[in-house]
Structures are given as C-alpha cells and as structure tokens.
Structure 1
Amino acid sequence: MLITPNLVLSHNFPLRDAMRSSTADRFGIDNTPPAILIPALRYTAENIAQPCRDYWALPITPNSWFRCEQLEKQICWAGRLDSSFGRWCKKRQLSVNEKNWKKYFAKKQHPKGNALDFEIPGISNLSLARWIDRHLDYDQLILEFHDPADPRSGWVHCSTNPDGNRRQAFRIMKGGRIRQGIDD
C-alpha cells in the first residue's frame, strides 16, 4: 500500500489529518504512520472523527492523532521530569529512563492510531464531549484542561479499541487533577 497524505481514511478525513502535528513540524519529525496502522486509523476516523463531523456538520482539524515514537517522546518526555512520562514514573516509583519509557509507550493509544485530540470551531468542548459520551462507543473520552468559564478552552481526547472499548470518561483539570465523568 502506498502511504500518501491523500489516502482516504473516511469521507472527510485524509491521512494528512492523522499525520498533522505542529510539534513534528517544529522538530523536523517525520510523522508518517507505517502501513500496518492504516486499518486502526480508518477505524478511528470512521467511529470517532466522521460521526462528529457528520453530526455537527462542521469541519474538524485534529490537534493530534497519530504520533510516531519520536513525536510521542517529544510530547510526553523531552527530558522533563514534570512531563506526563515523568509523572507516570513517579506515581509508580520508577526511574525515568529508556527501559521504563518502553513500558509507558506500549500503553499509549496515539502511536497505535487509536486516539484523536480535537476541537470543533464554534462548539464548546464540553458539548462535544457530552455528545460523544451519549452517542459513540469509545475506549477513553477525556475532556482535557477545560475551564467552565471559557467554553473554547481545552480539547477533547477520544480513543477507540477495536478489541473492546472500556467507556472510560473523565476530565483532566489544570494541575493534572483527574475527575471521573464528563458532566459537573
């Protein structure tokens, strides 16, 4: 299979949407997924991105979808102890090192093509998360860094698992606090 940015994942989503990353652009990272992940990217497009696009009838530009390991490392570690990887290690009383990175990375859904971070212009992220919670089958639904005083704040992370979705829904607040569920 020839991997090109125009490869169709679903009606409104070409592969370029899954590859797009300002962080990859900034650091010169090639974020092209391997051919083996195209079915997972299509599954995520067809079961998360496309239903949202169809319901709201508005274009969606994902903030983050597929992340190669180099990009995931840049986003989640980049040598910072206060990074998501650093916090994961601290919570488990593990050293921040390459061996533990491999354990952490194995659990991540973006590198498997199963996770999507996005917003829809003109729609509050809380409304988007509520709609997904009520209408779609998902593995994880996370309303990230949403401030009730600013409906456009934060973003929605939604993932799928073709082997079975857990329907975990929660919020990640400023400071890293986690609260179960989407609604207040």
Structure 2
Amino acid sequence: MKYFTIAELCKSETADQLGIDNRCKKEHVVNMTALVDNVLDPLREAYGKPITVNSGFRCPALNKAVKGSVTSDHMNGCAADITGGSLKENKRLFYLIQELGLPFDQLIDEKHFSWVHVSYRKEGNRGEVKAL
C-alpha cells in the first residue's frame, strides 16, 4: 500500500453525519489491502496524480443509508468509488484500468463518469464492465 490507507478507505462523511460506526474488521483490511495492491496503487502509479476515494468500506448500516446494493462489495472491503476530480478524469481512470489490464470484478461508470466504481476479489474476478 503505497498511495492509499485503510483509514482513507473507511472514511465516510455520511457515516460521520449519521453517527454510524464504520470501523472495519480484520477480514475487511485484508480485502482492502488486496484492492489497493492489485488495482488502486498500480492505477495511481500509471495515472501519475492523486485519486480520491469517495467511498470504500461500508458497514451494513452505512450501505443501507446510502441505498447501496444489498450484495455490495463495499461491505466486504472489496470495492471503492474513485474520482480524478472531474468527469473527464473519471473517464480517463475508467479506461486506464482496462488499458493496463488490471484485474477487477466490476468496473462501473457511475452516472456518466460522476465517479468510477471498481471492485477486486482475491478469487473469481469476473472482469464485468458496465455503466449505470
């Protein structure tokens, strides 16, 4: 983990505002570390500038509060919503992940590149690309 921290991946303004305890467990740390090591750090290295994590780990209460999927990889520490700071930069991140051949389970253009969702599992990555 060179460019990202566990604290950054667990930080949530929504959780803070709603008084939700979004602390992660050891198994979540293992999954977040794998996400960073296999996707986020290599992406940041190639991108050459900071990437912001809008949403990483979500406990079930936080996931419900943000109306996340009941099967969201965020709850396992396997997903992050990221941004380069603009629609143009988010689009660049989306395609760079694919160009680099980084492993992922899901890569989603969220709301016309308002942010990019990327998930990584230690086993069984589907390489699914879609837009929502």
Q: Which residue matches 1:160?
A: 120
TM-score normalised to the size of structure 1? Answer: 0.66
5 Å-filtered alignment, 1:85-124, equals 105=70, 107-121=71-85, 124=89
| 1:145 matched to 2:105 | no
3-state SS of paired residue (2:54) = coil
User: Gaps spanning 5+ residues in structure 1: where?
Assistant: 1-9, 77-83, 86-104, 147-152, 173-184
Count of residues in correspondence between the two structures: 130
CA distance in 2, matches of 1:144, 1:42: 23
CA distance in 1, matches of 2:48, 2:95: 17
* Contact 1:53–1:60 (Cα < 8 Å) also in 2: yes
* Contact 2:47–2:93 (Cα < 8 Å) also in 1: no
3-state SS of paired residue (1:161) = coil
Report the residue type matching 2:107 in the other structure: L
Q: Cα RMSD between the aligned structures?
A: 1.5
| 1:51 matched to 2:42 | yes
Report the residue type matching 1:129 in the other structure: F
State the Cα deviation string for residues 7-36 of structure 1 (Å, max 9, x = none). Answer: xxx112111111111111110111110112
User: Gaps spanning 5+ residues in structure 2: where?
Assistant: none
3-state SS of paired residue (1:164) = coil
Identity, % of aligned positions: 33
1:58 positional shift: 1.1
TM-score normalised to the size of structure 2? Answer: 0.91
Q: Which residue matches 1:79?
A: none
**Runs (4+) of structure 1 moved beyond 3 Å?**
none
CA distance in 2, matches of 1:55, 1:134: 11
* Contact 1:68–1:111 (Cα < 8 Å) also in 2: yes
Q: Which residue matches 1:127?
A: 92
5 Å-filtered alignment, 1:15-34, equals 15-34=6-25
Report the residue type matching 1:36 in the other structure: E
Report the residue type matching 2:17 in the other structure: R
